[in-house]
Amino acid sequence: MASTAQAIRMALHYGEKHLGLKDVFGQDVGAPLGGVFTATQGLKTAWNSPLDERGIIGMAMGIAMAGDRCVAEIQFADYIFNTIDLLKIAGNTLWCTNGQMQLPMVVMTPVGAGIFGSVYHSHSFDAWASRLPGWKIVMPSNPLDAYGLMLAAIQDPNPVLYLKSKALMRHKGDELIPGEPADEKELKAMIDKPVQNPDGWKPRWPDLQEYIVPIGKGKITRSGEHITVVTYSRMVHLCDEAADKLREEGISVEVIDLRSIYPYDWQMIKSSIEKTGRVLFVNEDTEVTNFGEHLAYRATQECFYQLMARPRVVAGKNLPGIGLHPNLEKNSVPQLHDIEIAIREVVAEVP
C-alpha cells in the first residue's frame, strides 16, 4: 500500500498528465530533494523556489490569475503565517472581481505535531485556515483520501488549502489507489528515488486512474450508537483506536472523519448527533478559538433538543509553543487516553 507521501506524489503526477497542472513549486520541491517528505519527487513540473513564503504565494496567485493550474508548497505550516494577507486577497479575488477572475491554485503545507519538531515544526493551521473566506480547506487522514482530495483540489477553479499531517506522511493505507500496484515493494521501485546511485533516475509511473473525494463530504469510519466523535487528519486514527477499545467496554462510538473542514459535512454531523444524542469534537489545534468550538456552538444551536449531554472539545493546550522533549509534545496535544477519558465522561453525563 502507498504511503501518504507516495499518494500525494501520484496525485500530482496524475494532475500533470490529465488535469492541466503546469507548476508544482516551493522550497526544495524540485530536484534533487523532491520535498522534505518526498511528496513531489520525480514530477516533471516541480521546481525550487527561494526561501520566501510570500513570494511562493504571490507567484501562485500570478500563475492562477493567468489561467494556469498550480500547486505551491509552504515547506511547513509553521512558516505560513507571514502570508495571511496574501491568502486573504486570494480568497477574496473571485468576489472582488464579481466572478470574473478565478484562481485555480492549491497551497499545500504539512501541519500538526507528531514528529517532535518543537516550536517551529509542530503547530497546526486549521483554525486559522477556517477563517479565510473564499478558500476550501482539506485535511486527509489516509493515502486514498490524500490522492482523491488532491485531484479534487487541482480541479477546483478557486483556491484550496491542502493541509497534510506531518505525522501521517509515512503512514500506509489499507486501500489501494486506483492503478497502484498491490506490491508496495514494486511501487517503491517504480516511484521512489533510490538513496544509493540516484544519478539518472526517472520514475516509472503506474497507470493511475481518476479517483475523486468530493470536497465537503465526510466519512463515517466507525459506526456507533452512544456518542458521535467528529475529527479529521491525524486524530482520526486515535479516535478510531479509542472507539475500538471502548467497544469492548460496551460503549458504542461513531467516528466521523470530516476530510474537509471547509466546506464541512454538517448534514452528516447533524444526523449522527440526532442518533447518538452526544458529541465530542477532537483536533490538535490550540483549544482557544478552535475550529471544534465553532462546531460545538453549531451543534448546540441546531441540535439542542436532541442532545443528552453538553458538546465537548478535546484540543491542544493553549500554549505559546510545543516543546522539543517528547513529554512536552505529548502533554500539549491530545493523546489516546485524553480522547478515551473525554468519551467516557460525555457518555456518563445524564440530563
DSSP string across 8-70: HHHHHHHHHHHS-EEEEEETT-STTT-STTSTTTT-TTEEEPPS-HHHHHHHHHHHHHTT-EE
CB-based contact 137:263 (threshold 8 Å): no
- Segment 55-72 shows an average pLDDT of 97
Q: Does residue 185 have a pLDDT over 90?
A: yes
Comparing 4-191 with 219-348, is the CATH topology the same? yes
**How many angstroms separate the Cα of 270 from the Cα of each of 247, 274, 275, 347?**
22, 6, 9, 18
pLDDT digits (tens, 9 = 90+) for 4-52: 999 999 999 999 999 999 999 999 999 999 999 999 999 999 999 999 9
Q: Is the pLDDT of residue 197 over 90?
A: no
Could you name the CATH architecture of 4-191? 3-Layer(aba) Sandwich (3.40)
Q: What are phi and psi of 113, to 5 degrees?
A: -95, -165
Identify the active-site residue in 121, 123, 171, 226: 121
Residue 198's pLDDT is: 84
**In the chain, where are the structural domains located?**
4-191, 219-348
pLDDT value, residue 125 = 94
The architecture that CATH gives domain 219-348 is 3-Layer(aba) Sandwich (3.40)
C-alpha triplet 55, 146, 334: angle, nearest 5°: 90
Q: Which pLDDT belongs to residue 44?
A: 96
Confidence of residue 120 (pLDDT cuts 50, 70, 90): confident
Active site residue 237: no
pLDDT interval class at 199 (50, 70, 90)? confident
pLDDT tier, 200 (very low <50, low <70, confident <90, very high otherwise): confident
pTM: 0.96
Q: What angle do CA 120, 116, 24 make, to 5 degrees?
A: 60
The pLDDT tens digits for 213-265 are 999 999 999 999 999 999 999 999 999 999 999 999 999 999 999 999 999 99
How confident is the model over 256-315, as pLDDT tens digits?
999 999 999 999 999 999 999 999 999 999 999 999 999 999 999 999 999 999 999 999
Q: Give pLDDT, residue 324.
A: 87
**Model confidence at 321: pLDDT above 90:** no
Predicted pLDDT at 159: 98
101-114: per-residue pLDDT in tens?
999 999 999 999 98
* Separation CA 132–CA 122 (nearest Å): 21
In terms of pLDDT, which residue wins out, 118 or 341? 341
